């Protein structure tokens, strides 16, 4: 929302400043022509129908016509600026960002996905397939912009920070998927997320077995080691070609 307001303020600053100067000029001219108070002159400026044409000088009548045309031109100028802002690249990005922020503020019973790397993309594909709402947290600005453009609910920031997780709706979330390619960061996020919402289900990625137990002890409900899981799956595939090679139980 703030980004949209800043964009509009920048685009409309010049028309507003020029119009303010023109208004001041018109008030002074009306006061000079008809001996009005500034309050009455300002009222004529914005409500020309209040001018009683039978009681004013001809110069006032011509000036009133001039004021009407200039005000109309200002309206066209402001409308052009507004439309150009909305449909410009930056304007579209600002609107998407605003819609993204509103959606995140209202979503609940969702999953928060920390990291949109190789594993994160696969998680997102599965969540989309199951139609489970989710909010992404991503540190890369360029990737953040692309995800917003694609219509994802996403936050740019570090998931290790309390305020970022709170913005993602951690207290309303069903769970958190921590799939960053950094065991230390994943462990810290696990601890932080569990402290903010003890009821949330935490699924954490671990790159090394020694971190997996630490993550479980820190509150992770599930710990996934992609390399280990991949090795088990590869072993099961090999076993299909050697049905007699059943391991001892």
67 is a domain residue: yes
249 is a domain residue: no
92 is a domain residue: no
75 and 119, same domain (yes or no): no
176 and 224, same domain (yes or no): yes
119 and 156, same domain (yes or no): yes
134 and 79, same domain (yes or no): no
113 and 41, same domain (yes or no): no
193 and 124, same domain (yes or no): yes
12 and 49, same domain (yes or no): yes
What is d(CA 179, CA 204) in angstroms, rounded to the nearest whole number? 6
Domain count, the chain: 2
- Which residues have a Cβ under 8 Å from the Cβ of 84 and sit 6 or more positions away? 11, 91
CA angle 107, 5, 99 (to 5 degrees): 25
DSSP letter at 246? P
22 and 70, same domain (yes or no): yes
244 is a domain residue: no
47 and 129, same domain (yes or no): no
29 and 113, same domain (yes or no): no
**Helix 38-46, helix 2-34: angle, nearest 10:** 120
95 is a domain residue: no
Q: What is the pLDDT along the chain (249 residues), one digit of tens a residue?
A: 555 566 667 767 888 888 899 999 999 998 989 888 999 999 988 888 888 878 888 898 899 999 989 988 988 888 877 776 666 555 566 667 777 888 898 899 999 999 898 888 989 999 999 999 999 999 988 898 889 888 899 999 999 999 999 999 999 999 999 999 899 999 999 999 999 999 999 999 988 888 888 898 988 999 888 766 667 677 777 777 776 655 555
* Per-residue b or e along 86-106, where b marks 16 or more CB atoms closer than 10 Å to that residue's CB: eeeeebebbbebeebbeebee
Long-range contacts of 42-46 (CB under 8 A, 24+ apart): none
Q: What is the CATH number of the domain that holds 184?
A: 3.40.50.720
Note the pTM of the prediction, 2 decimals. 0.62
52 and 123, same domain (yes or no): no
Domain with 64 in it: 2-87
* End-of-domain residue from the set 87, 121, 145: 87
97 is a domain residue: no
CA angle 105, 89, 16 (to 5 degrees): 85
69 and 130, same domain (yes or no): no
DSSP state letters, 64-78: HHHHHHHHHHHHHHH
* End-of-domain residue from the set 24, 57, 87: 87
160 is a domain residue: yes
């Amino acid at each position: 929302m703030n980004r949209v307001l800043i964009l509009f303020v920048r685009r409309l600053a010049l028309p507003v400043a020029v119009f303010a100067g023109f208004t001041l000029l018109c008030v002074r001219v009306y006061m000079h022509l008809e001996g009005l108070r500034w309050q009455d002159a300002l009222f004529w400026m914005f409500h020309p129908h209040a001018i009683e044409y039978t009681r004013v000088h001809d110069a006032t009548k011509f000036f009133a016509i001039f004021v009407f045309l200039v005000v109309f031109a200002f309206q066209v100028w402001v409308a052009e600026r507004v439309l150009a802002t909305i449909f410009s690249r930056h304007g579209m990005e600002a609107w998407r960002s605003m819609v993204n922020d509103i959606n995140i503020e209202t979503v609940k019973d969702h999953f928060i996905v920390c990291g949109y790397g190789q594993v994160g993309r696969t998680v997102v594909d599965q969540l989309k397939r199951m139609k489970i709402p989710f909010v992404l947290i991503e540190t890369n600005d360029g990737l953040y912009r692309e995800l917003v453009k694609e219509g994802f609910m996403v936050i740019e920031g570090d998931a290790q920070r309390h305020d970022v997780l709170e913005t993602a709706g951690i207290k309303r979330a069903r769970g958190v998927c921590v799939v960053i390619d950094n065991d230390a960061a994943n462990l810290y996020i696990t601890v932080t997320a569990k402290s903010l919402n003890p009821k949330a289900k935490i699924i954490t990625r671990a790159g090394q077995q020694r971190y997996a137990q630490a993550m479980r002890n820190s509150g992770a409900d599930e710990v996934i080691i992609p390399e280990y899981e991949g090795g088990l799956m590869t072993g099961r595939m090999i076993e299909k070609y050697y049905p007699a090679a059943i391991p001892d139980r």
